[in-house]
Structure 1
Amino acid sequence: MTEHRQHPSSVVSFKSAHDFDTTIAQLKRALDGVGSTVFADVDQREAASLVGLALRPTRLILFGNPKAGTPIMAANAHAALELPLRLVVWQDDEGHAVVDYRDVSQTLGPLYAIAPELLGPIQRVAALLQAAVQ
């Protein structure tokens, strides 16, 4: 049975049409295709196993494009807490790869007073990610 857990309204969650490893590869290819850099790929399952704990396949990917993020951070240095962008790919109990993406374009405006025109590039990320794994 798939787990349904509470998450913030700014989190976009969707199932991938691909297996776990293919989902990771597809997401990285899509990000590269739009000029984004993957800054880190953290295997959280592996980290858990190093301390003797079990965790479903789970990878945290930090990514971004300095052309989009730099103007946001220049407008409000505190906004750097939200950047780079991040997504998590995890495997549910039924073996499906699930992608969670925190859409910071929903929070940067109200919480950091970032002007809407600076948010344009990151407002397109959720759709890009979803299209990459369908």
Structure 2
Amino acid sequence: MRDASGMITVPGSRSFHDTVERVCAGVTSAGYHVFARVDHAGNAVEAGMDLPPTVLVLFGKPDVGTELMQDRRTAGVDLPSKILVWEDERGAVRMTYTSAQWLADRHGLGEAGTAAARTLGLVAERICEQAA
């Protein structure tokens, strides 16, 4: 599901934990590096608050990210790439990532940057499909 904000959300069919693990494995098998997993729900607990399971996976590949930033340095604000794995109010697992077109439009990317954004978008799409 795409929306006007440039986010694409994919439904998952596995457990939350399995989905996070499969996203990370998909990143690695695609030749990218997992830079970090941010456990937003765990951080909420530390703050004395409640949040359903929510993990942000940050990933990238220097040659792809550098192409984006060589085209438009401001693209660095959206790097590394991210996939948010989260549970909705009914307990269904979802994965959300940024669309390539939104990234290209947001930064006014030229041909090379748009091609790199498409690469990132396809990688995120494949990872989410495999993790679902």
Q: TM-score range by the shorter chain?
A: 0.7 to 0.9
Correspondence for 2:33 among 21, 32, 37: 37
Name the % identity.
Answer: 27
1:111 alignment counterpart: 106
Indicate whether 1:127 and 2:125 are aligned.
Answer: yes
Alpha-carbon distance in 2 for matches of 1:93, 1:56: 8
Indicate whether 1:70 and 2:66 are aligned.
Answer: yes
Aligned-residue CA RMSD (Å): 1.6
Question: What are the Cα deviations for residues 3-25 of structure 1, in whole angstroms up to 9, with x where unaligned?
Answer: xxxx6441111211100000011
Say how many residue pairs are matched.
127
Shift in alpha-carbon separation, 1:117–1:14, aligned structure 2, 3 A:
closer
After superposing on structure 2, the runs of 4+ consecutive aligned residues of structure 1 that deviate more than 4 Å are none
Report the structure, 1 or 2, having the larger helix content: 2
Tell whether the 8 Å contact from 2:38 to 2:57 is kept in structure 1 after alignment.
yes
Question: What are the Cα deviations for residues 30-57 of structure 1, in whole angstroms up to 9, with x where unaligned?
Answer: 1101111111101001111111101101
Question: What are the Cα deviations for residues 57-113 of structure 1, in whole angstroms up to 9, with x where unaligned?
Answer: 11111111112111111121111011111111111222221111122x212322323
Secondary structure at the counterpart of residue 58 of structure 2: strand
1:50 alignment counterpart: 46
- Of stretches 25-34 and 108-117 in structure 1, the one that deviates more from structure 2 is 108-117
Q: TM-score normalised to the size of structure 2? A: 0.86
**Aligned-pair CA distance for 1:132:** 1.4
Tell whether the 8 Å contact from 1:48 to 1:55 is kept in structure 2 after alignment.
yes
Correspondence for 2:8 among 9, 12, 26: 12
Q: Which amino acid aligns with 1:112?
A: H
Q: Which amino acid aligns with 1:117?
A: A
Alpha-carbon distance in 2 for matches of 1:78, 1:49: 33
Unpaired runs of at least 5, structure 2: none
Q: TM-score normalised to the size of structure 1? A: 0.85
Tell whether the 8 Å contact from 2:24 to 2:57 is kept in structure 1 after alignment.
no
Secondary structure at the counterpart of residue 31 of structure 2: coil
